[in-house]
Amino acid sequence: MLVRDIIEKLDLSIVAGENALDNEITTVYVGDLLSWVMANAKQGSIWITIQSHVNIVAVASLLNLSCIIVAEGAHVDEEAIEKANNENIPIFSTDKDTYNLIKELIKIGIE
């Protein structure tokens, strides 16, 4: 499945990285502690987090993650948006919490 395929299904708002919506999704990783994410998130993962500052883009880019979903209505920093546009990392925002996001992702076939 491609990143663009989840946008409508999960009703996500696109915040940045519109040029990279064809990234292939492999799996999902959830975490707010950056060095845990660094150690464990797999290439192509959707990363769900409530962190919303510019360093999430560095982490996603270094690990080749497919996109970032900033959950629970956390406001994404301007610097993060700018960097994500430069590095082609899609960032989405949503008011949903992680539990509900995961339920929906499983429903549409992402394990």
Partner 1 sequence: MKLSFTVDGDEFLLAGEASSQVKKVLKQLGVSSAIIRKIAIAMYEAEINMVLHANGGSIDVDITPEKIYILFQDEGPGIKDIELAMQEGYSTASDEIRELGFGAGMGLPNMKRYSDDLKISSELGKGTKVEITVYLNREGD
Ligand X SMILES: Nc1ncnc2c1ncn2[C@@H]1O[C@H](COP(=O)(O)OP(=O)(O)OP(=O)(O)O)[C@@H](O)[C@H]1O
Residues lying near partner 1 in the complex (CB under 8 A): 32-36, 38-39, 43, 49, 51, 53-56, 58-59, 61-64, 79, 87
Assigned token pair, 69: 């979903």
Which of 53/107 has CB closer to partner 1? 53
17: left (phi over 0), alpha (psi -120 to 50) or beta: left
- The interface partner of residue 106, options being partner 1, ligand X, none and the CB cut-off 5 to 8 Å by kind, is none
Residues in CB range of 98: below 8 A, 6 or more apart: 30, 48, 71, 72
Which of 58/102 has CB closer to partner 1? 58
- The interface partner of residue 49, options being partner 1, ligand X, none and the CB cut-off 5 to 8 Å by kind, is partner 1
Assigned token pair, 65: 């993650």
Give the containing element (helix H, strand E) for 46. strand 46-49
Rounded to the nearest whole angstrom, what is the least distance from the CB of residue 36 to ligand X in the complex? 8
Residues lying near ligand X in the complex (CB under 6 A): 34-35
